[in-house]
Amino acid sequence: MKQDVAVISLDAYAGQFYAQQVQELFGERITVCSYSVRDGSIEHMPRRYDLYMVTTDAFDSLGDLHQYVPIDGEMMEIHVTLRWDVVRRLQSLPAGKRALFVNLSDKMCREAVTRLNQLGVNQLVFDLYHPGAPEPDMGQYDFVITPQETRYVPAGAKEIIDIGQRVCDSSTMIEAALRLGLEELLESERFEQYQREVATNTYSFDRVFARGLRLESQFEMLMEILDEGIVGVNERGEVFACNRKLEEITGIPCGEALHRPAGAVYPFLPFARCLKEKAPQPARVVSAGGVNINVAVAPVLRGDACIGAFATVQRFNDAENRQNELRSQLLHKGYRAKYTFDNVVGQSPALLRCITILKKMSLTPLPVLLIGETGTGKELFAHAVHNASPAPAGPSWPSTAPPCRKTCWRASCSATRRGPSPAPGRGASRGCLSLPTGEPSSWTRWRA
C-alpha cells in the first residue's frame, strides 16, 4: 500500500525540487505532494499524511508549524547538502578570493555557507546577500555563488557560479525510510547511488550505518541457510524478519507477514507469552494447517528489557526424517555388506539349496535368522542376503559378537518389534532383532 508524504517549504520551487527527489528515490512505494508557506498552498492541505517533511526555514516557531501539521503526526526536518561534484568545483577556486553568496533568506545563506565550510570549501572569503539586504558593492567580489537563485543576484556581478539546488542529505532520506517503515529500501541500488553522490562529513554516522547494513546482510544470509523456519518480532510483537523456509512451511508469504502483529499472522506461536514472561518457551508440537510442526520461542534481552523474540519452526516429519537420514549415514561407517551370493563357491546340493532359499528370503521385508556352528559361513551369507534385498544400500550390522549371557538375547537393541523365536535348544537361546529403518536385516545365532 502506498504511503502519502507531504513536503513543506518556504519557497514553492525548492519544495517541488525536494518532493521530486524524494519521489524518485522511493519510487512507487510513496506519493509525494509539496506545499509552500510563501505562496499559501499550505493553507489547502487536503488530507492527513503519513509523514510530513519540513524544511528548516519554513516556520519561525513550533506554534506556526502545528497550525498545519497535527501534533500527533509523523514529522521530520529536511536537511540539505551539496553534491560532491559541486564541492570539488568550488574547492578548485583560487584561495583568498572574495565571494558573495546569494540565497532566499539570511538563515538559508548562513546554513549554506556553514555547510560549505564543513565540507572543505574554506579557502574563500564569503559575504551574504538575500532579498531585502543592503545592496553590496559588486566590484569587490570575484565570484557570486548561488543555489539556483540567480534572479536575486545584484547587477554588476563579475562571474556567477550557479551550484544548483541543494539536495536532501543522506541522513534525511534514511530517516524518512525508517519513519515510513521502508528499511528494505536502504539496501537498494538507488539509495546506495544517492549516498555516493551527495556530500557528507558525518563519518561516525556513515561507519555505524555501514556496519549495520553489513550485520543485517549477514543475518539474512544466516536465516536463509538454516534448514528450519525462523521468524523474529520486535518488542511490540510485530514481525520484522522471516525466511523462505518459514514461508514454505506455513504457506504465508513473508511480504504479507512483515510489520504485522505476530499473533494475527502466526497464532500458533506463543510470542505474547514469551515477551510477557521474558523467558524461553519450551519446544512443543502444534498443528498449523493440518500439519504437525515443532516450535520453540526464545526472547532477546538487553539488560532487564525484552526487545524482541525469535521462533524456530520445523515440520515434525522433517525433523524425524532428518534424524533417520543422519543415523543412516552414521551406521554406514563400517557397517556395509561386503559379500554377495557370487562369493559363495561350491556345488554340493545342500549348499545350492541353501542359496536358493536365502535368495527368496532376501526379497521379503522380514528379518532372517541364520543358525550354524562357528566357521560355517554365517557372516558371509548374512552379507549376501543383505545385498540381495530391496535395500542393499542400507546399513548391514556385523554378524559376529563375543559370547554373552542368555538375558542379553532377550533384550531388544533399538528393535521396533520382537522377532519370532522358536523354543531354545539346550544350552542356547535363539533371538531375532530388527532395526527401525524399514530395511531387512540378517542376524546369526551364537552359543551362550
* Residues 285-310, mean pLDDT to the nearest whole number: 88
Q: Are residues 288 and 308 in the same domain?
A: yes
Q: Is the pLDDT of residue 233 over 90?
A: yes
What's the 3-state SS for the chain? CCEEEEEEECCHHHHHHHHHHHHHHHHHHEEEEEEECCCCHHHHCCCCCCEEEEECCCCCCHHHHCCCCCCCCCEEEECEECEHHHHHHHHCCCCCCEEEEECCCHHHHHHHHHHHHHCCCCCCEEEEECCCCCCCCHHHCCEEEECCCHHHCCCCCCCEEECCCCEECHHHHHHHHHHCCCHHHHHCHHHHHHHHHECCCCHHHHHHHHHHHHHHHHHHHHHHHCCCEEEEEECCCEEEEECHHHHHHHCCCHHHHCCCEHHHHCCCCCHHHHHHHCCCEEEEEEEECCEEEEEEEEEEEECCEEEEEEEEEEEHHHHHHHHHHHHHHHHCCCCCCCCCHHHCCCCCHHHHHHHHHHHHHCCCCCCEEECCCCCCCHHHHHHHHHHHCCCCCCCCCCCCCCCCCHHHHHCCCCCCCCCCCCCCCCCCCCCCCCCCCCCCCEEECCCC
Q: Are residues 234 and 300 in the same domain?
A: yes
Residue owning grid cell 510470542: 271
* Residues 199-216, mean pLDDT to the nearest whole number: 70
Residue 434 lies in a domain: no
Tens digits of per-residue pLDDT, 179-188? 998 888 887 8
Sorted by sequence, the CB contacts under 8 Å of residue 177 that are 6+ apart come out as 26, 183, 185, 186, 191
Sorted by sequence, the CB contacts under 8 Å of residue 375 that are 6+ apart come out as none
Q: Which of 42-51, 124-133, 210-219 has the lowest mean pLDDT?
A: 210-219
Q: Is the pLDDT of residue 259 over 70?
A: yes
Q: Is the pLDDT of residue 227 over 90?
A: no
Q: Are residues 58 and 136 in the same domain?
A: no
* pLDDT of the residue at 398: 47
* Residues 419-434, mean pLDDT to the nearest whole number: 43
Residue 58 lies in a domain: yes
Q: Is the pLDDT of residue 149 over 60?
A: yes
Structural domain range at position 155: 84-165
Q: Are residues 307 and 255 in the same domain?
A: yes
Q: Are residues 235 and 375 in the same domain?
A: no
* pLDDT of the residue at 328: 67
Q: How does the average pLDDT of the chain come out, rounded?
A: 82
CB distance 175 to 5 below 8 Å: no
Residue 202 lies in a domain: no
Tell me which of 444 and 114 has the higher pLDDT. 114
311: confidence class by pLDDT, cuts 50, 70, 90: very high
* pLDDT of the residue at 397: 58
Residue 341 lies in a domain: yes
* Residues 208-217, mean pLDDT to the nearest whole number: 74
Residue 9 lies in a domain: yes
Q: Are residues 183 and 72 in the same domain?
A: yes
Q: Are residues 246 and 187 in the same domain?
A: no
Q: Are residues 251 and 314 in the same domain?
A: yes
Residue 179 lies in a domain: yes
> What is the domain-level CATH number for residue 105?
3.40.50
Q: Are residues 177 and 230 in the same domain?
A: no
Tell me which of 304 and 322 has the higher pLDDT. 304
* Residues 254-276, mean pLDDT to the nearest whole number: 90
Domain boundary among 143, 165, 187: 165
Tens digits of per-residue pLDDT, 361-405? 888 877 788 877 777 888 888 888 888 888 776 666 544 555 555
CB distance 427 to 445 below 8 Å: no
- For 145, the grid coordinates are 555563488
Q: Are residues 38 and 117 in the same domain?
A: no
What Rg, from alpha-carbon coordinates, does the chain have? 39
Residue 296 lies in a domain: yes
Q: Looking at the chain, how many residues does it have?
A: 448
> What is the domain-level CATH number for residue 276?
3.30.450.20
Q: Are residues 65 and 173 in the same domain?
A: yes
CB distance 167 to 83 below 8 Å: yes
Q: Is the pLDDT of residue 431 over 70?
A: no
Query: Structurally, how many domains does the chain consist of?
Result: 4
Residue 351 lies in a domain: yes
Domain boundary among 165, 182, 207: 165
* pLDDT of the residue at 424: 44
Q: Are residues 147 and 283 in the same domain?
A: no
440: confidence class by pLDDT, cuts 50, 70, 90: very low
Tens digits of per-residue pLDDT, 4-37? 999 999 888 889 999 999 999 999 899 999 999 9
52: confidence class by pLDDT, cuts 50, 70, 90: very high
